Amino acid sequence: MQPRPVKEKKKKGLYLMPGMAASPRIFEFIDLTDIFEVIHLSWITPKENEPIEDYALRMCERVNHQNPILLGVSFGGILVQEMAKHINCYKVVIVSSVKSNIELSLSMKMSQKTNAHKLLPTQWIQNLESFALFVFGSSVERKLQLYKKYLSERDPNYLKWAIHTLVNWKQKSFDPKLIHIHGKKDTVFPFKNVIKTPYLHKLTDGTHAMILVQNQWFNSELPKILF
């Protein structure tokens, strides 16, 4: 009697959402395909004055797994939290991001009150150096040529929407089991503002761009964190 063939266990879907203006290329050094079915998400064009709740619902249409794992970087971390309000998720992970508007930087909180971000000229995104510093933080200065290939979303309307949505994000309470991975040298979302939880993983030398710079840590540690 021949042994019954063992049915291969279906891999869990891992959806990766890049940060503001960034393309899925920021995950090019993350190699977890032996463990997960990895799907790279990318930004879609927002509608005029579209609330992030509605935008997140449209993004959920791209999720084809039941109980997926959603991982978002920076502004993408905010988006996956909003997506998780529409679909059941196995786990939600944010990297170099915030889980509450309490964690936003002082300048972002001030901009929320003054609307100073609306005064940014759209031409500033054509200055690649300024644009890269805004997206990746001060750690990018010496690696500008390396990082510029990752900045694909440079449409002024998208940038205006993204910045306004980030600054005016209303979330105060969050899922207590939300996994938060953050660098202590992050200059976009300073670590001192991060609310400490049992599910916080801190990288001592981590910067806002650590998904690129410290990819080996993510390749070795993410599977342990997720299972």
pLDDT at position 159 is 86
**SS3 of residue 86 by DSSP:** coil
Letter string b/e over residues 12-37, b meaning 16 or more CB atoms within 10 A of that residue's CB: bbbbbbbbbbbbbebbeebebeeebe
pLDDT at position 155 is 84
Asked if 78 and 52 touch (Cβ cutoff 8 Å), the reply is: yes
- What is the block-wise mean pLDDT of the chain (227 residues), using blocks of 10 residues? 56 96 93 97 96 98 97 97 98 98 88 57 55 66 65 83 91 96 94 97 94 94 95
- Helices 75-83 and 156-167, axial angle in degrees (round to 10): 70
pLDDT at position 133 is 67
Q: Is residue 180 part of a domain?
A: yes
Residues of the domain holding 129: 12-226
Q: Is residue 87 part of a domain?
A: yes
Name the residue with tokens 């750690």. Answer: 139
pLDDT at position 152 is 79
**Of 20, 27, 24, 90, whose CA–CA distance to 55 is shortest?**
20
Q: Is residue 3 part of a domain?
A: no
pTM here is 0.88
Q: Is residue 146 part of a domain?
A: yes
**Of 133, 129, 111, 94, whose CA–CA distance to 225 is shortest?**
94
pLDDT at position 106 is 86
**SS3 of residue 222 by DSSP:** helix
Q: Is residue 5 part of a domain?
A: no
Q: Is residue 201 part of a domain?
A: yes
Q: Is residue 6 part of a domain?
A: no
Q: Is residue 1 part of a domain?
A: no
Q: What CATH code is carried by the domain that includes residue 121? A: 3.40.50.1820
Number of domains in the chain: 1
